[in-house]
Chains A and B, each alone.
Chain A
Amino acid sequence: MSPIQEPFADGVSLAHRLDPRGKIVVAGLFAVSVAVAQTYATALAGLALALVCLALARLPLKKVGARLLVVNAFIFFLWFILPLTYPGDAVWQFGPFTVSRQGLLYTGLITLKSNTIVIALIALIATAPVNTLGQALQRLRLPDKLCHLLLFTYRYLHVLELEFQRLVQALKIRGFHPGTNLHTYRTYAYLAAMLLVHSCDRADSVYRAMLCRGFHGKFYSLRIFSWQPRDRVFGAVSLLALAALLYLEWRGAGPL
């Protein structure tokens, strides 16, 4: 087990150096535009844009592939259900099942759109550490409570994970071998219970440590966000690209 990592957050590429506030806004607008798209033209154009962003971020393609695999594992199940249940012209029939052309097209579109959005998010959002994102959201005037929720969720995920590692280590050094017996089940039950209790305790301690250092409900950031010329260019180009997407969608609007 390795601690929770942010494999895409470190880097010096253009996508990493852009102001996170701009990236969040653009990624949000892009995700919505692609998500509502009804035509292949829009989705394909979106995919091309997302790939451009990905190229700008110069991320390790293998790891990006691994992420996409996870997403597509979910979509994989759609391929079993949607083509069979979506009403439309039959292209293939076996027994009681009919595969419809519209169903296939629709599932394809969903697959395309999901991958496009995930690629864009990897290129724009995952290229900033979660803490920076939280601070950027705060600067974007999102309610403090929501930002804290994000930052603390992330922070305590670490706590949970470290606590889990510690417990597993404690098991290991005492020669624990999992098997199919009561001893194993009981040990796992203890592990789960202790994980919960320890994590609560640890979360308490962390909160105490924060209180001792004058925490009063507000996070200050060491990071000074600065809006550079490159951010202006990025913003302008993105707006144009989004407009183009919307134009494509408007022109090709209508059912499949």
Chain B
Amino acid sequence: MSRAGRIARRTFLVGAAAVAGGLAVGYYFYRKPFPNPLEDGLAEGEATFNPYVKIGSDDRVTVIVPRAEMGQGVATTLAALVAEELDVELDAIVVEHGPPASAYANVTMIKDGLPFPVFDESTLANLARDGVGVVGKFLAIQGTGGSTSTTDAFERMRQAGATAREMLKSAAAEKLGVAAGTLRTEAGRVVDPASERSLSYGELALDASALRPPSDAALRPRSDWRLLGRSQPRTDMHAKVTGAPIFGVDVSLPDMLFATVRMSPRRGARMVSIDAAEAEKLPGVVKIVPLRTYLGEGYGVIAKSTWHAFRAADAVEAEWGEAPFPPDDAGIWSELQRAMETDAGTALRNDGDVDTALADAPRERVVEAEYRVPFLAHATMEPMNATARFADGVLDIWAPNQAPTLLRTVCAREAGIEEAACNVHVTYLGGGFGRRLEADYAVFATRLAMEAGGAPVKVIWTREEDITHDMYRPAAIGRFTARLGENGLPEALDMKIAAPSIMASVMPRFYPALSALGPDATVVDGSYNQPYRIPNYRVAAVKAPLPLPVGFWRSVGNSYNGYFHECFMDEIAHSSATDPIELRRRLMTDFPTALGAIEKVADMARWGDPLPDRRARGFAFTLSFGSWVAEIVEIADTPEGIRIEKVWIAADVGTALDPSIVEAQLFSGAIYGLSAAMNQEITFADGMVEQSNFHDFDAMRIHQCPQFEVAILENAGRMGGAGEIGTPPAVAALANAVFALTGKRVRQLPLSREVAFA
């Protein structure tokens, strides 16, 4: 067992006890399966087999995909899991999100929050993972995040399809008077090959659903898959090319009012005064409502249209108090710096004896560097929004959201009602990237609905409100030291990273009475758990006490640790005059999956071949969310600035259930990372965010978009995620390419601080 494991376990136990609030008492409760939430909402003639499958007597098969569709294709892939086992075609089923319910808890998401590298297969790591499975179910968080949806659903939803299939066969066997074992299923029918008689699922559904579910329905072996492992047409594509009203902003209800909010531009500051007299006189205004909530203060404007609300909100005069954090970047960085210097942090990886190895290192063998990354906004294409109606003691919320059970908890609490009186309707998401795990926009909508006399209120934020009121990707500082051995390989690597803790920031937004104890693995995620063997290897996390709202941003800690770790590796390679890929070959000999991805990408790009003038390449590798990803970025020096010409990605995801969707996620993730690496930063002045819209917080445009070549590998033993894994290595590979092209080692993002992009 590694030392990292021992340290982590102790702190984990403290954290788990706090989170679970009495694990032992809850044990029996967890064992009982959750009730099937579909039982309450069945239509005439409709039957439900389990929380994932409904079949109507009209043969309509509905599959519940209780995860947020935010572009990552989860609706298609998870529906295919059920369809595969149930023997129905994907275009013959209806996919619904379903109600928020404990039955849909995402256990994998919580498991992956544990401080163990994925390759740590020690008993301890597995035990803890199983233990947290209990915690996850106990808390019953239905979340879409951490690239866990597919992994989490892989067994469960195939099982749901297989169980329903077997029940349908049993019902048919009874009707046909033959043994169930002789029957087949295909295209929504149970067939008796001997007599060539068949019955449709619709004819069998009511009887079948009354049967006892078998506990041993066999899952199809991979060799028999018809749908899985092959690219499927996405179930949401038609709606998305025809402009169908599927998003949160598109919710339309009778007598609906429109609204917007303006919360304190200094996050966490009080609203000292508000003067709405002029604004109230503007046409179209229904009501201006001061908002004082546990998530911040400000005001909302209810109006006859969104535009009327925006205009009146501009006309309100309000004064704001001081921000509870240093008001500008200089102060924020020095706070981070101080945390770095005064706090020893928690070593989440600690192999060998780093202190001794570094103590007597000869000067010329030491490589040292300090890196920084800025705060970042998510800037989902669809601005934050939610629609709420509070009538007769019942609260209904329509929202594009990644964690509906949490959303229900906070909104019901805000309205002072039982959760049972709060219905959450999840729409399609115009982008999530982690921002929509939060529920702030729904809490504000709840408050406005409580002032609207029972009318539904659709609350849409301006882009300016969205950029200035995000839960940002944390800024971070990393300080790194390496000692090189005679052979040029690092003998010791010491990494210390300080950042505001995401867990400490997120937790009180949902459970104000709870605090996140113990270390926060997200601070070093992507640095402490990489598949390198270095004899003395320490990675310490410092939780910087900065009360700025930070949150999950596509690939979370990996988004900057990929940059830290892999750019510093590039520095090590450069210092020892070793080719960067060769360095990895030598340090990753114990990890064939990593090597496989690296060799593949090197092959694809013909790494090592001479390049034309004014071109250069960078390489990086990051293991994140259980997937092993190597990327090469090629850039060119042009008169307009640096152009990103081409990106090669080789990703080992273990099992790729839908290659087209995985490919799309890989280049999507890379573009998201490249956008940030090139130009994005959120900065502060006078306690307020300085950026406000796409003119000063832009992202990659089509003319900046490189060509992509993607290879999907399936050698890893476990299935990994896909939605976030393209992001971390893209950032580092671009920075390394910039070094190769210009000789500038840019140690603070965005790269545009030091070089210009075309």
Same complex origin of A and B: no
A contacts, CB < 8 Å to B:
none
